[in-house]
Structure 1
Amino acid sequence: AHHEKLNGTGYPLKLSEAEIPFQSKMMTVSDIYDALSASDRPYKKAVPTEKALDILSMEANRQLIDNSLFKLFVEAEIYKKTIGWKHPATA
């Protein structure tokens, strides 16, 4: 369910905000950040941290992701815990 959007336009089930589990809403923020900032993706370059956070902010402002969880992600500096991290298979 972490590909669902709060406005019901996500996939695979087009769930409404109320139907999306809280855990999935949390995972969505992390998943989008990871997809934007991961350097181990052969099909695209990672974007800088600030750009990734700007994109997430736009998603929150458009009410596609949970704004309060995005704010927590930023205020708790959760994103900093991934800087320089490499997947064990590629390290």
Structure 2
Amino acid sequence: MNTSTKMLNPPQIAEMLGVGVAKVHGWIESGELTAINVATTSGGRPRWAIEPDEFERFKRSRSSTSTPKPAKRYRQPAGVIEFYK
């Protein structure tokens, strides 16, 4: 962990992405978003901190890049010969 960077918390990430805090917690629990538990006591409620670099990686992994559709291929009817193309 780089101590010179400011860590993000789930409410900040939820606000940036326009989702609920529960959704961010779900990403953390599923392992999609890597977070560090910075709670002072073990066994209690976790306090999650996310590095900005990890947040950028997460955003890149979830961005949608549309693939171009393949060109439609038209089948020529059987028995038809085209002389002029």
User: Could you tell me the TM-score, scaled by structure 2's length?
Assistant: 0.28
Greater fraction helix: 1
